[in-house]
A and B are shown apart, each in its own frame.
Chain A
Amino acid sequence: MKPLMYQEFLKLRFKKSTWISLIIAVGMMVLTGLTTLNVGSSDSKYYFSSAYGGFQWFIIVLIAINASSITSEFQFGTIKHLVIQADSRWRVYYIKLLAISCYNFIGHIIIFLAAVLIKLLLYPGLDLFSHYHYGSTVIVNLILNGALDFFLSYLFIGMVTLIACISSNSAVAVSVGIGVAFAGEGLSNMLLSSFPSIIPIMRWNPFNMLNFQQQFAYPEHIHDTHLLLSQMGIGIFVWSCLFLVLGQLLFQRRKI
């Protein structure tokens, strides 16, 4: 018998969608790179440091892989083998999350490398070490953005995992996850601007944390979020942990 972690890697490796979706994400980055060829120097720095939209595309990929990696075990019935081998269910759950984390990390590295490659091929004029936000170079900005996105992605992993543990259908978890990814921050901003009286509490809602990167790029965003960047960091951490622990409890109770 192979260790469970190894089994998870093997499954990810042999599942075609794992890699095809990543290739599509990189393809979308190339497309973005091509359509923004004629923008000015400041904008080209912005597109590069945000990886030509790659991090946003990768979040969608991650949501899909994350949801299906959990729901499919129940759908295929293979959860029985996992539980028998693991001796306790919470271990199955956290080993899965660990495998997804590794995929998440590798995905971010690939997006980073793809962004650099696109720059080298399409934007020879853009200097990687020219100055940009926070007194750092563009390349450092890209790395910072990637790191922040990696951190923020755990909010998505938490939410999607939780939904995947409730629903038997990965499509539900994927749609909710993507819906939140696209509309979550807008929803929160609308809520906060429409009901100013509940701001002290409502600013802590998990969707508001999705403004993290926006606020990093544009600090004046604080007027919408009513949270400091550091407060948002704490919020992301607490909400992610909460979702993941709740997911574990549901995962353990689920009928197999």
Chain B
Amino acid sequence: MEKIAELQNVSLRKHGGKILDDISFDLNAGGIWGIVGPNGSGKTTIMKVMLGLLKYDKGTVKIDNQLVTSKKHSVVRDQVGALIENPSLYPYLTGLQHLSLYSSDKKKISTIVQQLKMTNYIKLKTKLYSLGMKQKLGIAIALVNCPKLVILDEPMNGLDPKSARELRMLIQQKNREGTTFLISSHVLSELQKIITGIIIVNDGKISIETTPSELKKKVNKQVIINTNDNDKALKTLNVLFPDDGLKSLIIDSDKSEKLNEYLQAIINNDIQILSVNDSQDDLENTMLELMQHKSDKEGSNL
């Protein structure tokens, strides 16, 4: 598959500390890539390196098969759109003037303004914008020239839930039209519905590179049964299914196929079922668990 970006063994030191430590990953063209990690883990730094805004000490960064360094990055100008950290705007210019700074195509400008629903305020100076409006304009600037790769650093920041949903839909639409995305976030949940690949960074290192479905397989789903007499229900189940060794009414995923039998048994014993719930274990927790797991293992290696 065609690769839009390749990072090989990229390292960056500042003031003696390692900010990026041997980062390697490839982005296949056509995907929506999420880069997820806690605050300060190095997401923004990785993106700045990819844009040629930061000098790196070791390794190679390529975009569209061309080397990117802080001295030379014409490929970034031609093929990449980006929103890094906060939207960078001139307070004394209007949204429209901003877009016309970065694009000379009037049609593209009006298309993106409509797609992001910014028509109402696009002719106002940006010093009058709310955080969400600024964020949208920053995203519009990244998208306006229809670049091959769009890099968005925490784009959901400051967006209300409705705008965040609209942005996710826009990202998917642009992706269908052929744009590759690299999107960072410190919360996986706002990305998990749309991304096709996840890069998890922690402490300047890549800890996991996977797909959402792979990650989902690792999710330990549990079902919690709640009745009007939980003790009696548990006793009943232990009598009827002594081999299952149930210790509570929280049923692990490996026994989930027996859920029907369990529920039947409880009903037959005149116990009233109040609720049957999925446990809250989601991708977020799984990711944190995996990261924890990994750093434990590394810790024991020392």
Shortest Cβ gap from A95 to chain B (Å): 14
User: Do A78 and B76 form a contact, CB below 8 Å, given A1-B145, A7-B101, A10-B97?
Assistant: no
User: Do A84 and B92 form a contact, CB below 8 Å, given A7-B101, A77-B85?
Assistant: no
User: Do A16 and B51 form a contact, CB below 8 Å, given A1-B102, A1-B145, A84-B82?
Assistant: no
Cβ < 8 Å to A, chain B residues 45-77: 48, 51-54, 71-74, 76-77
A 66-83 to B, binary, CB cutoff 8 A, 1 in contact else 0: 000000100011111101
Q: Residues of A contacting B40 with CB < 8 Å?
A: none
Distance, CA A151 to CA B1, complexed state (A): 59
B248: interface (CB < 8 Å): no
Distance, CA A10 to CA B100, complexed state (A): 10
Contact B104 A2 (CB under 8 A): yes
Contact A87 B92 (CB under 8 A): no
Distance, CA A84 to CA B85, complexed state (A): 15
Q: 4 tightest CB-CB pairs across the interface, nearest first?
A: A77-B88, A78-B88, A87-B74, A15-B92
Shortest Cβ gap from A32 to chain B (Å): 30
Q: Residues of B contacting A87 with CB < 8 Å?
A: 72-74, 77
Contact B92 A78 (CB under 8 A): no
Contact A81 B92 (CB under 8 A): no
User: Do A88 and B72 form a contact, CB below 8 Å, given A76-B90, A78-B88, A78-B90?
Assistant: yes
B292: interface (CB < 8 Å): no
B253: interface (CB < 8 Å): no
Shortest Cβ gap from B277 to chain A (Å): 45
Q: Residues of A contacting B76 with CB < 8 Å?
A: 84
Q: Residues of B contacting A16 with CB < 8 Å?
A: 92
Closest A residue to B52 using CB positions? A84
Distance, CA A19 to CA B135, complexed state (A): 30
Contact B88 A81 (CB under 8 A): yes
Residue in contact with A84 in the complex, picked from B73, B86, B89, B91, CB distance below 8 Å: B73
Residue in contact with A2 in the complex, picked from B88, B90, B93, B100, CB distance below 8 Å: B100
Shortest Cβ gap from B216 to chain A (Å): 35
A256: interface (CB < 8 Å): yes
User: Do A88 and B101 form a contact, CB below 8 Å, given A76-B89, A78-B90, A256-B53?
Assistant: no
Q: Residues of A contacting B97 with CB < 8 Å?
A: 10, 14
User: How many residues does chain A have at the interface if contact means C-beta atoms less than 8 Å apart?
Assistant: 21
Distance, CA A189 to CA B125, complexed state (A): 48
Distance, CA A2 to CA B89, complexed state (A): 16
A41: interface (CB < 8 Å): no
Distance, CA A76 to CA B88, complexed state (A): 6
Shortest Cβ gap from B48 to chain A (Å): 8
A85: interface (CB < 8 Å): yes
Known: A1-B102, A84-B52. 7 other contacts (CB 8 A): A2-B102, A11-B90, A16-B92, A76-B91, A77-B85, A78-B88, A84-B53
Residue in contact with B101 in the complex, picked from A10, A76, A79, CB distance below 8 Å: A10
Shortest Cβ gap from A67 to chain B (Å): 16
Shortest Cβ gap from A72 to chain B (Å): 8
Contact A83 B100 (CB under 8 A): no
Contact B72 A84 (CB under 8 A): no
Shortest Cβ gap from A15 to chain B (Å): 5
Residue pairs across A and B with Cβ atoms less than 8 A apart, 13 shown, are A1-B145, A7-B101, A10-B101, A15-B92, A76-B90, A78-B88, A78-B90, A80-B51, A80-B84, A83-B52, A84-B52, A87-B72, A256-B54
Residue in contact with B71 in the complex, picked from A14, A77, A88, A256, CB distance below 8 Å: A88
User: Do A84 and B100 form a contact, CB below 8 Å, given A11-B90, A78-B90?
Assistant: no
Contact B101 A2 (CB under 8 A): yes
Closest A residue to B81 using CB positions? A84
Shortest Cβ gap from A76 to chain B (Å): 6
Q: Residues of A contacting B141 with CB < 8 Å?
A: 81
B 148-159 to A, binary, CB cutoff 8 A, 1 in contact else 0: 000000000000
Shortest Cβ gap from A17 to chain B (Å): 8
